[in-house]
């Protein structure tokens, strides 16, 4: 065939170099759904392992949440850690914690007397979070909806980090959050409109927007990931 190794043209000149095949990503997990449309079971490994610089290794179930952009997880870890600016003795809340990406990164910035309370309600996310946090003594997992969990958290909180769903956190959550009086709130948002609404709600509750970073985490779409930092106005 044209371009095959060792082939030459009719005049004896070297033929074109063989086309390179693109290097495909390694397949880490493959699950097969067996059964009809009304039910079945999954065969094969149903989770993947992600290693994130600055945070550690994470086991994430096939139906769990993880960032789709390959660079998003380490970038968010770096930006959230910078925004949180934790002190060794801080008490931190990580709301909508998922598999614990931010929880574990923040726990690593604390001293032995610091603590992180990670809140997640999705059963699959809670299972992943517990597995990933099992050897981190500074991290406590609360399996509950955020609006309910905020009634059962430490009365003194220094920093709150939240990565709410696309609709945003909303007044019910931000009312309870502001009542705790953290000095800093860091919001990770995948919807600028929802972030704008939450920013207005936080401003009404005494918090000033001090920093905003926008990330192109969803290339060739209109979606933008944001990391916003709010400080309590003294």
Active site residues: 190
- Give the model confidence (pLDDT) of 128-165 as tens digits: 888 888 888 999 999 999 988 988 787 899 999 999 98
Range of 144's domain? 66-232
Strand, helix or coil for residue 84: helix
Please give the mean pLDDT across all residues of the chain. Answer: 81
Do the Cβ atoms of 109 and 83 come closer than 8 Å? Answer: no
Looking at residues 46-68, what average pLDDT do you find?
Answer: 61
- Is residue 119 in a domain? yes
2 has a pLDDT exceeding 50: no
- Is residue 98 in a domain? yes
Give me the pLDDT at residue 1, please. 47
- Is residue 24 in a domain? no
23 has a pLDDT exceeding 60: yes
Q: Averaging pLDDT over each range in 37-46, 123-132, 202-211, which range is the top one? A: 202-211
In the chain, the number of structural domains is 1
Give me the pLDDT at residue 125, please. 82
63 has a pLDDT exceeding 80: no
- Is residue 1 in a domain? no
Distance from chain centroid for Cα 138: 19
- Give the model confidence (pLDDT) of 208-233 as tens digits: 999 999 887 767 777 788 999 999 99
- Is residue 42 in a domain? no
56 has a pLDDT exceeding 60: yes
- Is residue 19 in a domain? no
- The least confident of 29-43, 59-73, 77-91 is 29-43
Within 8 A by CB and 6+ apart from 181, the residues are: 157, 232
Give the CATH number for residue 182. Answer: 3.40.50.150
Distance CA 186, CA 113 (A): 22
Give me the pLDDT at residue 54, please. 66
76, 88, 104 from 100: Cα distances, Å: 13, 20, 6
Within 8 A by CB and 6+ apart from 43, the residues are: 31, 32, 34
- Is residue 90 in a domain? yes
Give me the pLDDT at residue 136, please. 84
- Percent pLDDT > 90 in the chain is 44
Do the Cβ atoms of 147 and 162 come closer than 8 Å? Answer: no
Give me the pLDDT at residue 62, please. 58
- Is residue 46 in a domain? no
């Amino acid at each position: 065939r044209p371009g095959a190794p060792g082939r030459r043209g009719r005049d004896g000149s070297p033929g074109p170099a063989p086309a390179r095949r693109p290097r495909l990503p390694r397949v880490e997990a493959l699950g097969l759904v067996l059964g009809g449309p009304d039910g079945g079971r999954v065969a094969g490994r149903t989770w993947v392992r992600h290693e994130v610089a600055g945070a550690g290794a994470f086991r994430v179930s096939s139906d769990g949440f993880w960032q789709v952009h390959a660079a998003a997880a380490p970038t968010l870890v770096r930006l959230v850690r910078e925004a949180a600016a934790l002190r060794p003795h801080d008490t931190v809340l990580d709301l909508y914690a998922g598999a614990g990406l931010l929880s574990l990164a923040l726990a690593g910035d604390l001293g032995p007397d610091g603590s992180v309370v990670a809140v997640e309600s999705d059963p699959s996310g809670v299972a992943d979070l517990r597995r990933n946090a099992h050897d981190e003594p500074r991290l406590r997992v609360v399996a509950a909806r955020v609006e309910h969990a905020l009634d059962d958290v430490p009365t003194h909180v220094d920093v709150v980090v939240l990565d709410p769903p696309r609709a945003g956190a909303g007044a019910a959550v931000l009312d309870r959050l502001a009542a705790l009086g953290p000095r800093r709130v860091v919001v990770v948002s995948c919807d600028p409109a929802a972030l704008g609404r939450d920013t207005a709600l936080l401003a009404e509750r005494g918090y000033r927007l001090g920093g905003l970073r926008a990330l192109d985490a969803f290339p060739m779409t209109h979606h933008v990931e944001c990391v916003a930092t709010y400080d309590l106005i003294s």
